[in-house]
Chains A and B, each alone.
Chain A
Amino acid sequence: MSSLSVPVRLFLLFTAVLTVVVLGSFFWQPQVTNDLGGDFTLIHAGEPWRFADHAREVNLLYIGYVNCPDVCPLRMSRISQALKSLTEAEQNQILPIFISVDVEHDNPTAVADYAHHFGANFVGLTGTTAEINQVVAKFGATYSKNLAPDTQLGYTYMHTDRVFFLNQEGRVLDSIVAPAMGEEIVHKLKEHL
């Protein structure tokens, strides 16, 4: 190496850096996406429910709470509309999941009933605070309860407003922030089915 001229050394150094950058860009993005998600167990209608036992080809996840009057039912409706626009065979490859973060007020039956309203195959889950926190963190989501003593409800939750697309292992394939139209969800679903 010591016999190499300075321009050649610089060229080799540049080539090495370029190779690292190119290969890095190839592997970095998928790795970050797949770091999110994974298997989890929560409660469905009073019984333990493990994702791996029910997962389908593509699984849609929304995190909210039952007493959310505006955004949560809107997103759930959009998911429902998206599924209705697919063929029956396509629908059978998809599992829609709603997780409530309002452990204090949303009992397992209420969450299951709530999710079921949007479609016969919609699953509504809850759990203990520790379980919910673990699952929410797993998907890179967030939530927090804010007291609102001037309201009838007395509280509100801020929460991630994102529809997650999960593979059969529960890994995040994709997501859409605040989808306003069912078509956005359909488009993504067809990419991953």
Chain B
Amino acid sequence: MSLSFRQPFVVIRAVLLAPLANLLSTLNAHGAVFIAGLAALLVFAGPLSGVAEGSEPGLQVMDGKIYLPIPGSQITAGYGTLKNSSAQAVEVKFEKVEKFRAVELHQTREENGVARMQKIPSIAIAPQSEAVLRPGGAHLMLFTPEKGLKAGDLARVHATVNGKSIILEFKLITRD
């Protein structure tokens, strides 16, 4: 998924650097090897050096956390700040999560001292803005965890940003 997102940049870098390497090889064989090596480094290093795991260009999750389910329950919630650093509005949908059977986006509303919760399809984030998944507001609802999960484990949440797949990492923590 990361590779497919960066594919255009990889192709552009290869197209720009290959003719340069050919040109230099006519002057100096060692120089050609150096340039070809540099080109290869740029091509293959791209996916490794771009953005840390748990984020994608344009959307990052900060302080992403999922509470381990409380004994007696197989359901829990996840929170964090989704930061859209791109220049366009994005719509984020949550598709699935590793280590749990399913994930949904829900919204809690408080009216006249009564709490009610409902599923929402997506969350919209304006350009250069952020959306907070917080207790008592929009949040991830997660169902049926794998056995043996412990605090500190990472859960990879598969989402889409304007239709493009991404993975966001949330840390499992104990609810105190």
Q: Is the CB of B176 within 8 A of A77?
A: yes
Q: Is the CB of B113 within 8 A of A177?
A: yes
On chain A, the residues within 8 Å of B163 by CB distance are none
On chain A, the residues within 8 Å of B104 by CB distance are 151-152
Binds B, one of A12-20, A49-57, A62-70: A62-70
Q: Is the CB of B117 within 8 A of A156?
A: yes
A95-129 with Cβ < 8 A to chain B: 106, 109-114, 116-117, 124
On chain B, the residues within 8 Å of A117 by CB distance are 70-72, 175
Q: Is the CB of A158 within 8 A of B143?
A: no
Name which residue of chain B comes closest to A151, CB basis: B119
Q: Is the CB of A71 within 8 A of B115?
A: yes
Looking at B77, B115, B136, the one whose CB has the most chain A CB atoms below 10 A away is: B115
On chain B, the residues within 8 Å of A112 by CB distance are 72
On chain A, the residues within 8 Å of B117 by CB distance are 68, 70-71, 156, 158
On chain A, the residues within 8 Å of B102 by CB distance are 152
Could you say which of B67, B71, B113 contacts A113, with CB atoms under 8 Å apart?
B71
On chain A, the residues within 8 Å of B135 by CB distance are 70-71, 74
Q: Does A73 contact B (CB under 8 A)?
A: yes
Q: Is the CB of B139 within 8 A of A70?
A: yes
On chain A, the residues within 8 Å of B76 by CB distance are 69
Complex Cα gap A84–B39 (Å): 60
Given the contacts A66-B73, A77-B175, A71 and B136 also touching, CB distance less than 8 Å:
yes
Q: Is the CB of A114 within 8 A of B77?
A: no
Binds B, one of A22-30, A131-139, A159-167: A159-167
Complex Cα gap A67–B117 (Å): 12
Q: Is the CB of B77 within 8 A of A69?
A: yes
On chain B, the residues within 8 Å of A160 by CB distance are 113-115
On chain B, the residues within 8 Å of A156 by CB distance are 116-118
9 extra A-B contacts, CB within 8 A, seeds A70-B108, A114-B73, A124-B72: A66-B72, A69-B141, A71-B135, A81-B176, A146-B116, A148-B118, A150-B119, A151-B104, A162-B113
